Amino acid sequence: MSFRARLTLAVALAVAVAVAGASAITYVLVRGELRGEVDDALRERVSSVRLRVVNDPSGNPFLDLPPTRFGGAEGITQLVTSEGSAIQSPAARVELPVTERARLTAAGKRGSFFANATVAGTHLRVYTLPVDRPGLALQIARPLDEVDAALERIRGLLVLIAAAGIALAAGLGLVVSRAVLAPVQRLTRAAEDVTETRDLSRRIDDDGSDELARLASTFNTMLAALEDSARAQRQLVSDASHELRTPLTSLRTNIEVLSRDVALPAGEREQLLRDVTEQLGEMTALIAELVELARGDQAPVEPEDVRLDLVTADAIERTRRNRPGVSFSAELEESPIRGVPATIERAISNLLDNAAKWSPVGGEVEVTVRDGEVTVRDHGPGIDEEDLPFVFDRFYRATVARSMPGSGLGLAIVRQVAEAHGGAVSAEAAQGGGTRLRLRLRPEPLKS
């Protein structure tokens, strides 16, 4: 059974119980009230009509009934003896049954009481009370026909009202459950939608402060977390391809040179082979790192004491080999920091690679290291004012850069590395043209 059906049923059932209870109470109260009226009428009759018990000529008591003024409903009257027999007026046509209790009242052992009896198919209310003659009690009865008819009508009405109430409750329950379950249904649809389309950017309305709004907001938080992790995964893949491209390119260049120029001077040949081996080693390390990252290995790489100036020198050396058309000048002060040398070198290489890429042929790239900060300045076209805020975004490339090779990931990786080290990276236009990029990392005090 669906939750909605169960909810409706529960509402209808609750209302049914309430309505049935209220009807039963109403019925009992009305019945008491109506019978009370009959009882009052009986009492009234006893007190208003002077009933006299007299003796007939043979000495037997009998009831001397004065005639009612308008005739009619004087009811049935009889005397009961303590032996349990009934004495009736000569005109009486029916005899009331004498109960044990009535006999006891006649014997003076019990007080007056009301009881119901059925005589000759008629439902009667019988009032039994002691009279001033010992050994006798008076019984006076009135038919309950009218009261019974009224009660029957009321019963019918109550059943009708209860049925209508329950039906109404079921209908309202259906409407209410629909309204109550609408947010749940929206949630379900959203979840199904996400499953179907794999679109994790979907969010659902979570206005309000009730439980369902909280559920919705929890759902949204979960979606956001999933989206983040999916994005991180995609980033990892794109970072991986970006990071692998650079060493692959230089590897390819070196191998091409080796295979083309068979008659290379021995020294140069050895240098190239050493480069190739080194690059292969770098790539192996990089791949191992990426595999580790992809495995979701949460253990962060332990930072170590790093000399930023030395790491920068290595990066310059590497870029120099890949970009022979550009010259590099370096002003490197001893600068100890804490960090992961491989990733820092990768970040600096990305800066140098950009500077070299945008430099005119034969241009110079100036690199300085001081107090945990690397500055790279080139004499290229510079970055347009409107592009400046975006160059660190993933995949962002200025319009003028679209014709150049690149994927727009280099500076995003630099920013990520800077932030991971508690630092920052910024770009600005250099005086006299070109671009200046600063990578700030947290400096460590110089050890003496």
State the minimum distance, in angstroms, from the CB of residue 337 to ligand ATP.
22
When the beta carbons of 15 and 412 are compared against Mg ion, the nearer one is: 412
Q: In what order do the strands lie in the sheet with 364-370?
A: 327-332, 364-370, 373-377, 435-440, 424-429
Q: Does 416 bind Mg ion (CB under 5 A)?
A: no
Q: Does 410 bind Mg ion (CB under 5 A)?
A: yes
When the beta carbons of 125 and 323 are compared against Mg ion, the nearer one is: 323
Buried b (16+ CB within 10 A) or exposed e, 204-220: bebeeeeebeeebbebb
When the beta carbons of 397 and 438 are compared against ligand ATP, the nearer one is: 397
When the beta carbons of 222 and 248 are compared against Mg ion, the nearer one is: 248
Residue 355 interacting entry, from Mg ion, ligand ATP, none, C-beta within 5 to 8 Å by type: ligand ATP
State the minimum distance, in angstroms, from the CB of residue 403 to ligand ATP.
10
Residue 407 interacting entry, from ligand ATP, Mg ion, none, C-beta within 5 to 8 Å by type: ligand ATP
When the beta carbons of 98 and 351 are compared against ligand ATP, the nearer one is: 351
Residues 358 and 20: their CA atoms lie apart, in Å, by 88
Handedness of CA 338, 286, 255, 328 (dihedral sign): negative
Residue 304 near residue 444 (C-beta atoms within 8 A): no
Residue 369's beta-bridge partner residues?
Answer: 332, 374
State the minimum distance, in angstroms, from the CB of residue 413 to ligand ATP.
8
Distance in angstroms between the alpha carbons of the first and the last residue of the chain: 78
Residue 334 near residue 309 (C-beta atoms within 8 A): yes
State the minimum distance, in angstroms, from the CB of residue 415 to Mg ion.
12
Residue 124 interacting entry, from ligand ATP, Mg ion, none, C-beta within 5 to 8 Å by type: none
* Contacts with ligand ATP, residue ranges (CB under 6 A): 242, 350, 354-355, 358, 378, 380-383, 391, 396-398, 401, 406-412, 435
Residues comprising the chain, all counted? 448
Angle at 27 between CA 23 and CA 31, to 5 degrees: 175
Q: Does 354 bind Mg ion (CB under 5 A)?
A: yes
When the beta carbons of 6 and 245 are compared against Mg ion, the nearer one is: 245
Q: Kindly state the tokens that stand for 38.
A: 């009959």
State the minimum distance, in angstroms, from the CB of residue 260 to ligand ATP.
26
Residue 408 interacting entry, from Mg ion, ligand ATP, none, C-beta within 5 to 8 Å by type: ligand ATP
* 103-106-108-114 Cα dihedral, nearest 10 degrees: 80
Alpha helices in 301-409 (DSSP H): 308-322, 341-358
Interface with Mg ion (CB under 5 A), residue total 2
Per CB under 5 A, which region of 124-132, 237-245, 308-316, 403-411 contacts Mg ion? 403-411
Which DSSP state fits 120?
A: T
When the beta carbons of 49 and 430 are compared against ligand ATP, the nearer one is: 430
Residue 397 interacting entry, from Mg ion, ligand ATP, none, C-beta within 5 to 8 Å by type: ligand ATP
Beta strand 113-119 with 122-130: parallel, antiparallel or unpaired? Answer: antiparallel
Closest CA to 132 of 108, 154, 110, 148: 108
Binding site for Mg ion (CB under 5 A): 354, 410
